[in-house]
Amino acid sequence: MDDEIITRAYLETLSFSDLKKLADEYGVDVPEDLDRRFLLSELVEIAEETRQDKTAGMIISFENSINQSTNLPDGYNETNITCILRNPVWAFVFWDISDTDMNMLNALGDYSLSLRVCILVSPEELVPAESFEIDIPNGVNEQYVLIPSGKNYIRIELVYTSGTNREVLAFSQVVSIPKSSNNVENYQPGINNDFSPVMKLSGIEKILSEQYKNYRHSFS
C-alpha cells in the first residue's frame, strides 16, 4: 500500500473487518466492541499524520485533492450515543440523531438537548445512584465530559426537554472507570502525602504537583 492513496470516502465503503485489518497494518489495537465511526476517525487521523511525513506510505486525500466530487454521509440516520474513556478523568461522548427524531424535535419548536451523566454502582444497575446534566447547544454532536473522582461506572444519556416534557433519545453503553491509588486521586500540594521513600525517589510528588497545577486544579 506504499503508493496507494486512501480517501476518507474509500474508508467509508470498507467493512468493519477490513478497517480492522487496515488498523492492524499500522499497529492500532482495535477492541471487538469499538464503534465503527471511532475506528474510521482514528484511521483518518493516522492517515493525515502520515501524509505529512514523506517517509510514510499511507496518504489521506481529501475531496478537493482529486478530480472527482464525493458526498460523504453526515451520519447513519440512527439515533445513538457513544461514550469512550480517554483516561480515568475524561470521557469523549459523541452522538447522532436520526432524521425522524430530528423532524420531531423541529416540530416541537422550543427544545433543548443535554447529556445526563449517570453514576452507577454496578454495570447491571438501571437506576443511577446519582447523576448530573450538561447542557449542549443544538447542532453540536460531541462533548468531552469530566468524570467525578472515585466513581466506578457511568452511562451517558442524550435527553431532550420541551416545556414539561423530558425524554431520553438514546443512552450509551456502561463504561467502567479504572481505579488508581488514593494518593494519586487525593493529592494536593502542601498536604503531607504518605509516599514511601522509594516512591519519593521516583519523583512522583513532582509529577503529581505538575498534573494538579496544569490540569486538575483548573477544574476543582
- In this structure, the chain runs to a length of 220
pLDDT of residue 86: 85
pLDDT of residue 169: 95
Beta bridge partners of 77: none
Question: In this predicted structure, which of 68-82, 128-142, 166-180 has the lowest mean pLDDT?
Answer: 68-82
Contact of 69 with 159, CB cutoff 8 Å: no
The average pLDDT across 120-125 equals: 92
- Which residue has better confidence, 193 or 107? 107
Kind of pairing, strands 59-61 and 5-7? parallel
The 10 Å Cβ neighbour count of residue 45 is: 11
pLDDT of residue 61: 44
The pTM for the full model equals: 0.54
The 10 Å Cβ neighbour count of residue 177 is: 19
Give me the phi and psi of 139, to 5 degrees please.
Answer: 95, -15
- Which residue has better confidence, 64 or 154? 154
On average, the pLDDT of the chain sits at 78
List pLDDT tens digits, range 2-33. Answer: 445 566 777 777 777 777 777 777 777 777 66
The whole-angstrom separation of Cα 160 and Cα 75 is: 19
Question: In this predicted structure, which of 28-32, 135-139, 201-205 has the lowest mean pLDDT?
Answer: 28-32
Question: In this predicted structure, which of 19-23, 188-192, 196-200 has the lowest mean pLDDT?
Answer: 188-192
Nine-digit cell at 21? 485489518
